[in-house]
Structures are given as structure tokens and as C-alpha cells.
Amino acid sequence: MSTAKTTVAVTGATGQVGSATVRCLAQQFPDIRVRAGVRNKQKATMLQNLGPSVEVVQFDTAIPETLTKAFTGANVACIIPPNGPNRIDHTIAMMTAAKKCEVKHVVMVFGPVDRMPKGSLMLKEVAPAEVSDASISDVLFSL
Ligand SMILES: NC(=O)c1ccc[n+]([C@@H]2O[C@H](COP(=O)([O-])OP(=O)(O)OC[C@H]3O[C@@H](n4cnc5c(N)ncnc54)[C@H](OP(=O)(O)O)[C@@H]3O)[C@@H](O)[C@H]2O)c1
């Protein structure tokens, strides 16, 4: 894939994984536009200082219209689920928004499967375009 004018949206960009992802993309791929999705802009000073290729946008998985803003025009979505009990709901909300915004490639980050308790819900590796509205629950499976 050509990196020219590619836009990568990264969620959870103030977190450990998200901030490292944004920093790596900005420093190693200066031709890529990186959209750093953050819940709290006050935590985003480090991201804003990475240079002109990084655009910080505010989003909250509980507010669908902000998710649309985060993903519109992105070629790639790097979906980094937050930790916590509602992480699957947060992730489905982000997957649904990425699909609505016709993002072509999705990179999903999760913890090591062998450390997940049995019965945990996981997400299959699917592109949003392959998930119909009627079957969004099909992206989930149990360990
Ligand atoms: N850290 C690791 O070494 C590691 C290794 C493998 C896998 N993972 C996986 O990677 C994922 C992220 O881990 P992490 O360590 O980066 O977590 P983290 O540091 O806690 O970051 C979580 C991010 O999610 C954001 N967030 C939380 N709730 C949100 C909401 N409602 N709307 C929008 N953003 C929200 C947080 O924003 P705020 O700053 O506003 O809270 C933060 O930016 C997890 O699924 C974890 O299992 C982590």
C-alpha cells in the first residue's frame, strides 16, 4: 500500500499502546497523516508536539458522532480497545463507526489470548466492510 496521503486513525492515543503507535507512525512514516483519537485533549500535548503530520481529534466511544469524526476519511483504523469491563462494547462501537465511514483496513490490538479468562469475548479478525449491520454480533466469539 502506498503511504502517500494515507490517513491512519489511532484510537486510545493517550494510552500506552496508542501513544507509542502514534509516535512510531509520525517518526518513521512522515508521509502518513496520523489522526490521534483522544478522549481528553488536555492529555494530548505530547502528541501535538510530534509534528504537522499528527492531527488530534477528540472522541468518546460513548458518543457515536464523535467516532464518526475520528474515522471519516481514514484509510486505516488502528482500533485500540480501552481496558475495563465495557471494552467489548467500546470495540463494537468503534468497529461499527469504522464500517460506517468505509475505512478499508482495520488493525485491532488485544492482550495475549492465553492470559484471557475462559469465556472471555474476543473479536474475530474481520474488516468492517465484511460485517453486515445484522451480523455485528458475529464478530464476537468466546474462548
Ligand atoms: N500496555 C500493554 O503493554 C499492552 C500489551 C498488549 C495489549 N494491550 C491492550 O491494548 C489495549 C490498550 O492498552 P493500554 O495499556 O494502552 O491502555 P491505557 O494506557 O489504559 O489506554 C487506554 C486508552 O483508551 C482511552 N479510553 C478509555 N475510555 C475511552 C472512551 N470511552 N472513549 C475514548 N477513549 C477511551 C484512554 O483515554 P484516557 O487517557 O482519556 O483515559 C486511553 O487513551 C488494551 O486492550 C490492552 O489489553 C496492552
Give the mean pLDDT of 8-15.
Answer: 95
Domains of the chain plus CATH, in order, are 7-142 (3.40.50.720)
Residues 32, 8: contact at Cβ < 8 Å? yes
Atom number of ligand 1 nearest to Cα 16: 16
* Ligand 1: centre distance to CA 115 (Å): 17
Global pTM reads 0.84
* Ligand 1: centre distance to CA 21 (Å): 12
Q: Are strands 7-10 and 33-38 parallel, antiparallel or unpaired?
A: parallel
In this structure, is the dihedral angle defined by the CA atoms of residues 7, 29, 24 and 19, taken in order, positive or negative?
Answer: negative
Helix (H, G, I), strand (E, B) or coil at 136: helix
Residues 96-128 pLDDT 10s: 898 889 988 888 776 655 555 555 545 555 444
Atom number of ligand 1 nearest to Cα 111: 7
Q: Under 8 Å CB-to-CB from 49, ≥6 apart: which residues?
A: none
* Ligand 1: centre distance to CA 109 (Å): 10
Protein residue with least CA distance to atom 18, ligand 1 = 15
pLDDT number for residue 69: 92
Protein residue with least CA distance to atom 6, ligand 1 = 111
User: What CA–CA distance (Å, rounded) separates 46 from 83?
Assistant: 22
Residues 46-97 pLDDT 10s: 999 999 999 999 999 989 889 999 999 999 999 988 888 888 788 888 988 9
Give the mean pLDDT of 3-22.
Answer: 88
pLDDT number for residue 119: 52
